[in-house]
Chain A
Amino acid sequence: MAEHRLLTEHFGMEGIQTLAGYERAGGYQGLRRALRELTPDDLVAQVKASGLRGRGGAGFPTGTKWSFLPGDVHPRYLCVNADESEPGCFKDRALIEGDPHQLIEGTLIAAYAIQAPIAFIYIRGEYFDQRLLLERCVEEARAAGYIGRGILGSDFSCDVIVHGGAGAYICGEETALLDSLEGRRGQPRLKPPFPAVKGLYGQPTVVNNVETLSNLPHIVLRGGSWYASLGTEKSKGTRLFCCSGHIERPGTYEMLLGTPIRELLEEECGGVWKGRRLKAFQPGGGSMQVLLPEHLDLPLDMEAVAQAGSALGAGAMVFMDETTCMVNVSMRLVDFYHHESCGKCSPCREGTYFESDLMHRLERGVLAPEELTTLSDICDNMNGKCFCPLGDTATWFVMSAYAAFRDEFEAHCGAGRCPVREPRAAEAVA
């Protein structure tokens, strides 16, 4: 089985980045149908029936999230999370570049479902060209009457505002995103209250990922039960997987959920590069735990991967061949979290610093063996104790790698160098 192209169907099509091109491809029919034939409640019911789950990382059922909004509090807001900063993730960028109006249409459908008069697209600062593209597409859609007052002759009005972030991973966390959007330091908020109850400017707010929303035109046009027929029992539809690392054909591949990971690696990615063997891979993005070659036969299914001790997360797949040093990879990921820690809570702010210091000394081969205990101990003092998941997840890869590749970690202690990447030096000493 090859790729299953639903969201990516029109990728590469001539003129797809323009309104005319998108309309030629059948664009904005979903929005038209939603406004003409469905009440907001119908729409929420359709999305619930579809089984669509959030693609931003946590996989929360989208229809259920919408139904948490308190009945009579207005205005409500929709925020589109296009902050995509998870290491190894680039699918939202692909969706924005490959079919920008599909996202705008999905955004308007969601805004209609929750009756939001304004939708904000919060896009990461580094996606500068993509922001300009979205701004242009929003203007086109506005001029054509898809955005603004009385959309397509209905009594639903909605404005769409594109807002660029300033380059902080934490601003992808939904409440930090809201603070950043309001003009504050991007740092997560204390929950409860959850955004559904008290979000942007204190009003009920839904935050959804780019990919989540890009599914909506299809669900509206073809129905929730059709969508529910795709995928596995609990993981419905398709997902875009951002494949990178030691593979022949890195890229974004849209797969039907339930497909074995091996198929993604071998058929789409062309297998491990240079004929080498796979040593490990990380699904979900930089936050998730390492998996091993024996996990390749797992289906692309959120529950199955979770059971193996990791997660599909935000849809990344980083493959590592046999020459990879797991200490080196861990160190680089820990550095990322250390760099991105917002500094709000002590376990993450100080813990990632400590972790990073230990990992650097381990990588250089100058860590004392007993300090490995310190490493796992401080990770334990962080995991589950931080203010937000960033600090917790800063420990997940390194701890899973330490568990799976303990020898490699231990071999680094006192070695004076990296025994994996500089094996000759290690032999010379031996």
Chain B
Amino acid sequence: MPDTRPVEQPEDGRVGVTVDGRAVRVPKGTLVLDAATQAGVHIPVYCAHPKMDPVAVCRMCLVKLSTSPKLQPACATVVSDGMAVETRAPEVVKEQEGVLEFLLLNHPLDCPVCDRGGECDLQDFTQRYGPPTSRFPITEKVHFNKALRLSDRIELDQERCILCWRCTRYYEEITGEKELVLQQRGVHTLVATFNGQPLTSEFQGNLPEVCPVGALTHVRYRFVSRPWDLQRTASICPECSYGCNLNVDSRDFEIKRFASRDNPLVDDMWLCDRGRYSFPRWNSTDRVRRPLVREARGGVPVAVTLAGAVAAAARQLAAVREERGPGAIAVLGSPESTNEELWLLRRLAREVLGTPHLDHQLERFAGLAPAEHDLGIAETEECRAVVVLGEEPEHRAPVLRLRLFKAETKRGVRVHRLPAGTAPAQAVEAVGTGPGLVGVIADETARAGAAEIAAALAAAGATVKRLTVTRGPNGRGAKDLGVTPGLDAGYRAAAEGMSGREILEAAAAGRVGALVMLNGAALAVDGDDRDLLERALASVAVLVAVESRPGPVAQSATVLIPGHSLMEKLGTITSCEGRVQRVRAALPPATATATETGVLSMLAGALGSTGWPSDPIAVHREIVTAVPAYAQAGNGGRALFRGAPA
């Protein structure tokens, strides 16, 4: 029996409504649709989208309200105190059938060949709310173009379109570009690009997900799979430091697509095309599969067991340490490794090999401090103004642009895009003096300028928070955990050492006796850097490499241990704003050897330091004990180093 005792109604800006008899209290201004969701009542919608303003065009969500003689759209009607909402009243049920009949009138009903079959709102709601049969003669349907190429990424089936306006609103409200338009009118209305020009947006890959039906499709996913044949793994986008959440959808041990996974604090459900369409590179079968050992540089590679490789590595490293001292050994990680791998790599370098020459990137950045990562991504919406220095931040982390557009258009935040070299006084002039939260965003090359501008803005009265867009998916984690010269975990000062570039230069000059590389090929991607890398590889006598791809590193290694790609392992990575998020194995490993954490723990053991954890979960436990900010971050929270040593 429902509880009917009168409840004390606090003056909390909330109103009480019932949805199909279930009472809920919601903030004033809540939409009937959201109140229903809160009451656990499902209302079917097509045009409504959680990230867009209501338009109420599809009429799928009409419900009966005690406050209105006519059925009203739940997606666009605000609740009032005492309102009774009915979603299963006979007239509502009839209207739902009616709208579905209308939507199916000119729909091609080609579900058997539609990419969306199995995850289509039109299919699902027709099953759940629709009429059992059609009364419209199939011969009378209006026909449109079924395969309109909008770009090299998106293809539109105009016949499947139900004209919900989500895609055109996506461009207007989310990206601020206006690439899709409606043409013609009435039943002849269609979605098309303006003047037939191809789409050029860097965010068009979101369109097929915004579309509730199979009208907008990924060129790279057309006729590729059925959703129920896909295996879904929740993970993080490996392309940049922004940390967009995504689902890795794979089938037959191949990734078929990356799909967005809404994290309102990070991606807000959007991915950039660079990230979304980066999946094919993880399907490469060109991999290092077996451990190899060369007794000396240029020697014949011999296939060994993992234990044999680890023993050889320990022997070679110990010999160099004996002959030339620990300073002759250098250790290189990369921002593509997980926190757990980087943590053990750091321990190996600092505790076991005893070398200060440890880095995860080539450039050296002076004065790294946690304060430069204070500003949260979602916090930009709370700022009075945000300064973005140069084009790099939005180029490196494209989804940042969407967040800034939202802050600008929906929250009234003033976004000032200033050239990287802007003088602090000019920035103050642009932003204006006075209090309020002001964000300053820069990439790593503009850190120094950003610091000066932040100081000037603070002097002018603002509360300033900075965000530095780091490199690779886990450049931030590498810094937090001390895989950087002169700084140990938690930004504690450590003995000064060489930066990545200095290590390679020293190696090329013959001044490095042994190099340990974890996923090191990822470090040097462009021409000049690759040159330097190859010269370094040619000169170093001992190269212990954990590497997943064939290439110069694998070819030169005196001990080569197969690595796992980011799609094949469990672990955490830390985004530029310090969010510690989990990556999970979406593909089976291409090698039978242990994962990187296991290998590093074995190597430490072979070098005499035993008892290391080898599985990522245990390693993570060690991290949170050693680095309190990571304990506070937990799973998915931000690591904040407030009050940490400078």
Chain A residues packing against B (C-beta within 8 Å): 168, 185, 190, 338-347, 349-354, 357, 371, 374, 377-378, 380-382, 384-387
Contacts and interface: CB of A to CB of B under 8 A. Distances in A.
Given A346-B162, A384-B70, A384-B71, A339 B56 contact: no
Contact of B56 (A190, A349, A374, A382): A190
B55 A346 contact: no
Interface in B42-99: 54-60, 62, 70-71, 76, 94-95, 97-99
A213 B115 CA distance: 56
B189 interface: yes
**Residue of B54, B95, B140, B186 contacting most chain A CB atoms (<10 Å):** B186
Interface string B235-250: 0000000000000000
B187 A350 contact: yes
Leading 9 A-B pairs by shortest Cβ distance: A381-B98, A343-B189, A350-B102, A341-B186, A353-B187, A350-B105, A343-B186, A343-B185, A346-B102
Nearest to A384: B70
A381 B99 contact: yes
Contact of A374 (B105, B135, B187): B135
B359 interface: no
Given A346-B99, A351-B102, 12 more contacts: A168-B185, A190-B56, A339-B186, A340-B186, A341-B187, A345-B57, A350-B103, A353-B142, A354-B102, A381-B101, A381-B102, A387-B59
Contacts of B187: 338, 341, 343, 349-350, 352-353
Contacts of A371: 135
A345 B97 CA distance: 15
A190 B136 contact: no
A353 B137 CA distance: 12
A341 B163 CA distance: 14
Contacts of B105: 350, 353-354
A382 B71 CA distance: 11
Contact of B106 (A344, A350, A381): A350
Interface centre among B70, B76, B103, B105 (most CB of A within 10 A): B105
A384 B137 CA distance: 25
Given A338-B187, A340-B186, A354-B105, A385 B163 contact: no
Contact of A346 (B54, B103, B135, B182): B103
B127 interface: no
B188 interface: yes
Contacts of A185: 182
Interface string B100-113: 01110110000000
Q: Residue among B62, B71, B102, B103 with the most chain A CB within 10 A?
A: B102
B195 interface: no
B184 interface: yes
Contacts of B136: 354, 357
Contacts of A377: 98
A347 B99 contact: yes
Nearest to B58: A346
Interface of B: 54-60, 62, 70-71, 76, 94-95, 97-99, 101-103, 105-106, 135-137, 140, 142, 162-163, 182, 184-189
B185 A353 contact: no
B168 to A, nearest CB: 10
A357 B140 contact: yes
B57 A344 contact: yes
Given A349-B189, A350-B105, A381 B184 contact: no
A319 B76 CA distance: 41
Contact of B58 (A190, A339, A345, A378): A345
Contacts of B54: 190
Most chain B C-beta atoms within 10 Å of own C-beta, residue among A185, A339, A347, A349? A349
Contacts of B182: 185, 343
Nearest to A361: B137
6 contacts: A346-B102, A349-B163, A353-B105, A353-B106, A384-B70, A385-B98
Nearest to A348: B186
A51 B265 CA distance: 56
A343 B185 CA distance: 5
A386 B186 contact: no
Nearest to B94: A381
Contacts of B60: 346
A102 to B, nearest CB: 34
B106 A385 contact: no
Contacts of A168: 185
Contacts of A350: 102-103, 105-106, 187
A376 to B, nearest CB: 12
A345 B189 contact: no
Contacts of B70: 384-385
A386 B140 contact: no
Contacts of B95: 381, 385
- Among A341, A345, A371, A386, the most chain B Cβ lie within 10 Å of the Cβ of A345
Contacts of B103: 346, 350
Contacts of A344: 57
B167 to A, nearest CB: 15
B160 to A, nearest CB: 14
Nearest to B97: A381
Contact of A387 (B57, B94, B189): B57
A342 B185 contact: yes
Nearest to A371: B135
B573 to A, nearest CB: 42
B186 A190 contact: no
A384 B54 CA distance: 19
Nearest to A374: B135
Nearest to B164: A346
A384 B95 CA distance: 10
A341 B182 CA distance: 14
Contact of A343 (B97, B98, B163): B163
A352 B57 CA distance: 15
Most central of B54, B95, B184 by chain A CB within 10 Å: B95
B57 to A, nearest CB: 5
Contacts of A386: 59
Contacts of A378: 98, 101-102
Residue picked from B57, B60, B70, B185, most chain A C-beta under 10 Å: B185
Given A343-B185, A346-B103, A190 B98 contact: no
A419 to B, nearest CB: 23
A303 B251 CA distance: 68
Contacts of B142: 353
A380 B142 CA distance: 23
A329 to B, nearest CB: 21
A387 to B, nearest CB: 6
